[in-house]
Chains A and B, each alone.
Chain A
């Protein structure tokens, strides 16, 4: 089943970006020719999983052969694409169109036919402010509180998280024993569910929790963290950084390891100090990865909901209510259910996300082209 050079063991051999047919053919030409037994496919790679699915697959094969006769090989591709495209259409593209329809209608009905047209009413209501910097002067003050909270949160969270991820990645990239172990330690919280993360820290931070016990013991004195608006916000940032830092550390570490060693050797020959080597070599060469990490972190930061909602419920007051929670509460948790307002707010968020995603794609393209 295995022959030299296949399957590619290192990720580097995967093309980072598709270049269409030409690349496919090129890859095919350079790959070693398959050994003769590969042509006798029966029994090759028969794993347990394969044997498990084979009755179903054999059954599907009957209509597929008929379709192949009918359509020919190349048009059969559409049959393979169909289930996925159907799902994309139904649950990604259709909702975008419907979202606009919801945003321009009012009332609390789910069915679009029963909803009165109000044009840009929802947007006007959301954006109606005497002074946009002060949520108290806004008609939808909760929306603006959520917007400002989200802005503050994203700024702090992304800044702190990327900073610490970079520091951790640099430390891990040094001459460290048990690098794999330390890497997975920092990565571990990424796997935890948001609710579990929230409960873990709620338990640590509660009035009679272990942190307060330590502070009392140290003579600083405990504090009821989660009833204080500013502390609840600060701990939300902390919790979010704690939970997601490992992910960005991993990407930055991969970026650091891709920097060729000989550049550093040349710097050592020229007697550059380590600090200078870091500033003049590491940082510039890491810049593309940093940019990817920043944009990714921003996209995810704007969508923060789960862990903070389970952690503080948005409170105390509205201190930790973010934009996605506003959308959720207007549309689904409150009564009446203001779908229009919720859809309008999510279109505004979508706009921000589309801009960020386009930046990301553009950055990716640039970093791949070098």
Chain B
């Protein structure tokens, strides 16, 4: 024990831990708790039955009341362990509860009715995952439809964005033409126009183009981002021009240079941008809220938000749906968090 402790508290210099180190680790572990516990709690709760969710104080793990089906009773009867009184130690099934008294029967002897005070029993439970919360989503709610809408928007918007942004970045980094500075200033200018301040006219333009209440109305307006152009341009500037000249010598067309040389060489930057775009589109909320008003066009985020109004009491489905919405992003995070971190640090967010 002592040696383990020594090993754990050893530092690289061989010195003992200073009190500031203790404070640092304390702070960090508090952070781990604060950041992860709510998510863990959400996932655990999503596996609880509606009855279990109503329980107060809540249990940490999902439990289900054990039941038994007896002849002569249509519904399964809940089982209780008797902790006091004359029937102490027995396991009885409850027929009904009247005030503080419960009418119970012994499963071994179903004919005899027993009276037990409710102070003298406790629920017989076992650990069990309520997976029906999840299967319900596919049956009763149109979860797959929302999932498809979200996926379609995310994939299409990301592809269009990567294509247009990389083309623009190529032109801005590899050509010397009149008006280049003006275009660069225009791109900087769009940085100052976030969607949130042009909602009304954007709504008019999108309706005029016939994209109101259509998934394309969400995809197209978000496709051109100044951030993407900047990120890719900065990377393409580092690609030596000699490669392009060599390709031109070999009679490669400009379009070929773009997609056979520049695109593959900027793959790292494109990957970063792709991850960012997927994240933005998947989590997008305000603009889809305005454009998509019919529930068959809802994205997952919209569906979640509208369900929390309708299903105020039905947390079980809502929690399961939240977990499924969170899952793709959590997966992306686990595998690609290094790239996301560098991408965000280099672009300064959106």
Distance of A91 Cα from B203 Cα, bound (Å): 10
Decide: A91 and B224 in contact? CB cutoff 8 A: yes
Task: Specify which chain B residues have a CB less than 8 angstroms from the CB of A332 in the assembled complex.
Answer: 199, 203, 289-290
A28 within 8 A of B: yes
The reply on A21 being an interface residue by CB < 8 A is: yes
CA distance A54 to B260 in the complex (A): 9
Closest chain B CB from A67 CB (angstroms): 9
Complex CA–CA separation, A39 to B56 (angstroms): 71
In the complex, whether B2 has a CB less than 8 A from a CB of chain A is no
B-side contacts of A65, CB under 8 Å = 253, 255
* B114 adjacent to chain A (CB < 8 Å): no
Asked if A182 contacts B31 (CB within 8 A), the reply is yes
Q: Is the CB of A328 within 8 A of B199?
A: yes
Name the residue of chain A whose CB is nearest to the CB of B176. A21
At the interface, yes or no: A74 with Cβ under 8 Å from chain B? Answer: yes
- B35–A208 CB distance below 8 A: no
Q: Say yes or no: is A126 at the interface (Cβ < 8 Å to chain B).
A: no
| Choice from B192, B223, B265 contacting A357 with Cβ under 8 Å | B192
Other-chain contact of B173, A24, A203, A242, A354 (Cβ < 8 Å): A24
- Contact check, B243 vs A34: say whether CB atoms are below 8 A apart: yes
Which of the residues B164, B203, B259 comes within 8 Å of A84, measured between beta carbons?
B164
Contact between B198 and A310, CB atoms less than 8 A apart: no
Contact A350 B193 (CB under 8 A): yes
> Is A346 a contact of B204 with CB atoms below 8 Å?
no
B101 within 8 A of A: no
Complex: chain B residue closest to A63, CB-CB: B255
Checking B177, B223, B308, B344 against A202 with a beta-carbon cut-off of 8 angstroms, the contacting residue is B308
Which of these binds chain A: B73-81, B122-130, B321-329?
B321-329
Alpha-carbon separation in the docked complex, A123 to B186 (Å): 28
Q: Is B349 an interface residue (CB 8 A)?
A: yes
8 Å CB contacts to B: which residues of A323-366? Answer: 324, 327-328, 331-332, 339, 342-343, 346-347, 349-350, 353-354, 357-358, 361
CB-CB under 8 A for A95 and B201, given A61-B256, A80-B168, A84-B167: yes
Q: Please tell me if B273 contacts chain A, counting CB pairs below 8 Å.
A: no
Residues 53-70 of chain B, each 1 if its beta carbon lies under 8 Å from chain A, else 0: 011111000000000000
Residues of A contacting B137 with CB < 8 Å? Answer: none
Q: Which residue, of A64, A81, A203, A300, has the highest number of chain B Cβ atoms within 10 A?
A: A81
| B109 close to A (CB within 8 Å) | no
Is there an interface contact between B164 and A193, defined as CB atoms closer than 8 Å?
no
Residue of B nearest to A217 (CB): B57
The minimal Cβ–Cβ distance linking B333 to chain A, given in whole angstroms, is 5
Within 8 A of B (CB), among A252-294: 254, 292
In the complex, the answer to whether B259 meets A99 with C-beta atoms within 8 Å is no
Complex CA distance for A187 and B342, rounded to whole angstroms: 12
Mark out the residues of chain B between 116 and 141 whose CB falls within 8 Å of any chain A CB in the assembled complex: none
Say whether, besides A84-B167, A213-B57, A346 and B200 are in contact (CB < 8 Å). Answer: yes
Comparing A44-52, A130-138, A147-155, the segment that makes contact with chain B is: A44-52
Query: 8 Å CB contacts to A: which residues of B29-88?
Result: 31-32, 34-36, 38-39, 41-42, 45, 54-58
Quick one: given A23-B237, A110-B203, are A204 and B41 in contact (CB under 8 Å)? yes
Known contacts A185-B32, A296-B349, A310-B305, A210 near B264 by CB under 8 Å:
no
A227 close to chain B: CB less than 8 A: no
Distance (whole angstroms) from the CB of A87 to the closest CB of chain B: 3
**B196 contacts partner chain A, Cβ-Cβ < 8 Å:** yes
Kindly state the separation between the CA atoms of A28 and B301 in the bound complex, as whole angstroms: 46
A15 to chain B, nearest CB (A): 6
Neighbouring A residues of B186 by C-beta, 8 Å: 85, 88, 93
Do A186 and B203 touch across chains, with their CB atoms under 8 A apart?
no
Question: In the complex, A102 Cα to B305 Cα: how many Å?
Answer: 29
**In the complex, A107 Cα to B188 Cα: how many Å?**
34
Q: A57 to B275, alpha carbons, bound, how many Å?
A: 23
Complex: how many Å from CA A16 to CA B55? 55
| Contact sample, A vs B, 24 pairs, CB 8 Å cutoff | A7-B238, A14-B238, A15-B238, A34-B240, A50-B260, A50-B263, A83-B168, A85-B183, A87-B164, A87-B220, A95-B201, A98-B201, A98-B204, A168-B31, A171-B28, A184-B333, A185-B31, A188-B333, A191-B333, A192-B329, A193-B283, A193-B329, A199-B42, A350-B192
Minimum-distance CB pairs A-B, first 9? A98-B201, A87-B224, A45-B264, A193-B283, A95-B198, A84-B168, A64-B255, A80-B171, A77-B175
B residues adjacent to A (C-beta < 8 A): 11-12, 20-21, 24-25, 27-28, 31-32, 34-36, 38-39, 41-42, 45, 54-58, 163-165, 167-168, 170-177, 180-181, 183-184, 186-194, 196-205, 207, 220-221, 223-224, 226, 229, 233-235, 237-238, 240-243, 246-247, 249-250, 252-256, 258-261, 263-265, 267-268, 279, 282-283, 285-286, 289-290, 301, 304-305, 308, 315, 318-319, 322, 325-326, 329-330, 332-333, 337, 340-342, 344-346, 348-349
